[in-house]
Amino acid sequence: MAFLILVRGLPGSGKTSLAKVLSEDGKYPVFSVDEYFTNPDNGSYTFVYSENHKAYKHCETNCREQMAEGTEKIFIDNTFTLEWEMEPYFKMAAEFNYRVFVITVEHRHEGKNCHQISDEQLKKMAEKYKVVLL
C-alpha cells in the first residue's frame, strides 16, 4: 500500500520540520507550495501573491508525478486551512490507490513563521481553519 500524508497547520506551526522528520530526512519526497517561492540556490523565500495559483499547481504536479512512479510515501506540507485545498490530493489518491492521512500540526513550540505573515493575518487564517470530524 502507498501513502499520501497531508501535513497541515497555520504558518509557523512546524509543518515543514515535521514533514522532514517523517520523510526520514528526504528518503520520501516532501512537496509544498512554499518550495515554489524558495530560491534553491540560497534558500531565500519570496512570496508573490499573484503566483500563488502556479505554486499550488506546481505542488500538485510534483505529487502526481511521484504517484505515477509508485512512490511508497509522499508528504505534502501546506497550510490547507480550507477544505477545497486538499480536494485535488484526495482525488489523486483515489486515482492512484493511495491511502490518505491528514496530520494537523499545532503551534506549541514558540516558533515564529518565516513568511512575514502578521499576527492579524494568522488570526484570520485560524478563524477559517476547520477540523473535520466524521
Q: Indicate which CATH number applies to the domain containing 37.
A: 3.40.50.300
When divided into structural domains, the chain yields a total of: 1
Count Cβ atoms within 10 A of the Cβ of residue 39 and give its class: 0-12 exposed, 13-18 middle, 19 or more buried: exposed
Domain-located, residue 106: yes
**pLDDT computed for residue 111 by the predictor:** 60
pTM across the whole model: 0.83
The whole domain housing 102 covers 2-128
Domain-located, residue 22: yes
Domain-located, residue 121: yes
Domain-located, residue 134: no
The identity of residue 52, as a single letter, is: N
Give pLDDT tens digits for 86-120.
999 999 999 999 999 999 998 765 666 555 666 77
Domain-located, residue 133: no
Domain-located, residue 57: yes
Domain-located, residue 117: yes
